[in-house]
Amino acid sequence: MTDVQTLDRVVIRFAGDSGDGMQLTGDRFTSDSATLGNDFATLPNFPAEIRAPQGTIAGVSSFQLHFANDDIKTPGDKPDVLVAMNPAALKANLADLKRGGLIIADSNEFTKRNLAKVGYATNPLEDGSLVDYQLHAIDLTALTVASVEQFKLGRKEASRAKNMFSLGLLTWLYTRPAENTLEFLDKKFGRDASIRDSNKAAFLAGHAYGETTETFAVRYEVVAAPVPPGTYRQITGNKALALGLMAGAAKANLPLFLGAYPITPASDVLHELSRAKDHGVTTFQAEDEIAAAGAALGASYAGHLGVTTTSGPGMALKSETISLAVMLEQPLVVCDIQRAGPSTGMPTKTEQADLLQSLYGRHGEAPLPVLAAQSPADCFATAVEGVRIALRYRTPVIVLSDGYLANGAEPWLIPDLASMDAIDPAFATEPNGPDGTFLPYLRDDRLARPLAIPGTPGLEHRVGGIEKADGTGNISYAPDNHERMIALRQAKVDGIVADIPDLVVDDPSGEASVLVLGWGSTWGPISAAAKRVRDAGRNVAVTHIRHLNPLPANTGDVLRAYDRVIVPEMNLGQLAMILRAKYLVDVQSYSRVRGLPISPAELAPHLVDVIDGKDAR
């Protein structure tokens, strides 16, 4: 009988051709780990092309899963296990695999032709080059074809189920429940019995192969992680963002209108919200990014919660409409799920390089609040916060996510909607000026103007993109009025700081001289790196910024409290530059722009060098 070894954590990477079903396989293994109560984080990684050349490195698609019996913050650095469906998958990912790691490779695909495509002169499964790893070269294709023979499928069709065979094998090897995947296959392929049954047969055959073969001396288990009580679900950042927008609209008792144009990696928000028509959500897939933003702003003017979603290229196209929203002082939530640029760049890869565009990428003086989510689950809370600020302060708000958060998944404690604070849109219902007139730019103590839904009797007023006269909103070209209105709009955004919590610094020893400050999705890698630094006997302080404009009131005090401040970013140092300029503190950038999340394994040694004074300044 195979021994069962208990592990604290495991990182598995499934890799193959873009048609091999690696994303589905990884997602299913993640769901089974979630069912067992493991903490987890995922990193899907796939080419932008619908189908890149088969068998090439450019066409490799992978899915990495980190699951553990403790709280984790990242999808892991170096995988413990690599499932390689072809030579390209092996070559593209082998350098990341830990020495001594487990390789499960489909030997059927290691033909001379496929080896030549990726530059292998000899077969690595046979030439001894993988001696430092636990290699299991298995003819997954032949075993899969044999397992579905009863369904009379052609070899090509039958071999497509090899991802399920490998999933069954890994399910056995890591003591995951098989029942959940079988139920999933019943639901997903229920309309086509042959596809359903062949996938189930392949999955069960992979599981049985693990049980009966003698090539695996040990199987493994990772027990559940301790978590606060409550109901949890597996969630991606885009799903959480969609639910957060819905929750914000519900707490404001407003219908939600999404104007969007499909763009990677934001499209899934449109997909999610399009399925929520029964929850008061209207989705409009526009002909382009400009029309999408205009429709959302129009819906906001009509008394809905107007939202538009996009990525970096679309943000550039929406900038004029966002500037119009600034001039109108009209609520609008703009969600930018960042990707690697510039231009088309690397559409399916992650980056944080839209910060300066979000803060300053409009014509004229057009200030607006900017927020950034720190994890897939945090996209929910950040979306709700964006809705609250937009409605309370009558302003467009930019909510930043990125491809890493959008496609990655983690456990999410489902909040109690009833316990969340209500959001009062406070629409005007009666005149507010002399002699029964309505002044659309008469401000409250937050400098926010009243909003009147068109058609409200007695509240007729004029709006548009031309500068407003203070109070009345009439067209004005007066120099002093223009300067006053610019100052008022800036002061309104600056005043949002009153609703922003101070930065909280994690400095367990209280003796750290180095502060690591992050924003957005660097939260996980920074947290993981800080733990490694502390485990190595050094002191380091960590803090994270959600509100990027305005910045928390104590930001300057926090920066000045430390000898060194390091800001890791997936750009060339955009936030670091802003902090240096604003607070005159020698903030130092740690920059990585590779289309991948920052690696804790690389960041931690850098921080140790900084703390020990060994870095070159």
The DSSP result for 29-50, as a single string, is: HHHHHHHTT-EEEEEEE--SSS
Characterise 608 by phi-psi region: left (phi > 0), alpha (psi -120 to 50), beta (else): alpha
434 Cβ neighbours under 8 A, 6+ residues apart: none
Rounded Cα distance, 104 and 170, in Å:
10
pLDDT at 482: 98
Amino acid at 180: N
Extract the tokens encoding 535: 């485990």
Nearest to residue 24, comparing CAs of 1, 51, 46, 54?
Answer: 46
Show the DSSP H helices in 215-308 as ranges.
237-251, 267-274, 289-301
Q: Please report, as a single letter, which amino acid is at residue 297.
A: L
Residue 423, both tokens: 């959001």
Contact yes or no for 77/83 (Cβ under 8 A): no
Enumerate the β-bridge partners of residue 232: 413
* AA letter at 334: V
Percent of the chain exceeding pLDDT 90 equals 94
The Cα–Cα gap between 557 and 550 comes to 15
CB 564 within 8 A of CB 513: yes
User: What is the rounded average pLDDT of the residues 293-319?
Assistant: 98
Statement: residue 259 has pLDDT above 80:
yes
List C-alpha distances in Å: 415 to 232, 244, 279. Answer: 9, 11, 18
Is pLDDT above 80 for 1? no
The percentage of the chain sitting over the pLDDT mark of 70, rounded to a whole number, equals: 100
Average confidence (pLDDT) over 504-528: 97
* CA distance readout (Å), 475 to 69, 301, 328, 462, 578: 63, 19, 12, 9, 35
**H-helix segments, 190-311:** 193-212, 237-251, 267-274, 289-301
Work out the angle between the directed axes of helices 140-147 and 193-212 (0-180°, nearest 10). Answer: 120
Dist CA 374 CA 518 (whole Å): 9
Where does residue 483 rank: exposed (0-12), middle (13-18), buried (19+ CB within 10 A)?
exposed
DSSP 320-348: HHHHHHHHHT--EEEEEEE-B-STT-BTT
Mean pLDDT for 170-197 is: 93
Q: C-alpha angle 41/43/87, rounded to 5°?
A: 130
Would you say residue 157 has pLDDT above 90? no
Query: What average pLDDT does the segment 152-173 reach?
Result: 92
Joined together, the tokens standing for residue 530 give 């800080």
In degrees rounded to 5, what are phi and psi of residue 48? -75, -30
CB atoms inside a 10 Å sphere around CB 490: 14
Average pLDDT over residues 217-221: 92
Helix spans in 104-192 (H): 112-117, 140-147, 155-159, 162-173, 179-188
Quick check: helix, strand or coil at residue 522?
A: helix
Of 564, 573, 561, 566, nearest to 544 by C-alpha is: 566
pLDDT at 409 over 90: yes
Nearest-5° Cα angle at 453, 452 to 458: 60
**pLDDT band for position 192 (50/70/90)?**
confident
Exposure on the CB side of residue 586, measured as CA atoms within 13 A: 5
The phi and psi torsions of 553 (rounded to 5 degrees) equal -60, -30
Q: Is the pLDDT of residue 60 over 90?
A: yes
Mean pLDDT of 301-326: 98
How large is the average pLDDT for residues 210-217?
90
Q: What is the mean pLDDT of the chain?
A: 96
**Helix, strand, coil content of the chain in percent (nearest 5):** 40, 20, 40
pLDDT at 143 over 90: yes
Beta-carbon contacts of residue 295 (< 8 Å; ≥ 6 apart): 257, 259, 284, 286, 308
Q: Looking at residue 434, what DSSP letter applies?
A: G
Residue 52 pLDDT grade (very low, low, confident, very high; cuts 50, 70, 90) = confident
- The answer to whether the CB of 38 falls within 8 A of the CB of 248 is no
Beta bridge partners of 471: 441
Q: How far apart are the first and last CA of the chain?
A: 57
Instruction: Summarize the confidence of residues 321-328 as an average pLDDT.
Output: 98
pLDDT in tens, 76-126: 999 999 999 999 999 999 999 999 999 999 999 999 999 999 999 999 999
Residue 472 tokens read as 């009345």
CA 479 to chain centre: 44
pLDDT at 51 over 80: no
Q: How far is CA 388 from the centre of its chain?
A: 21
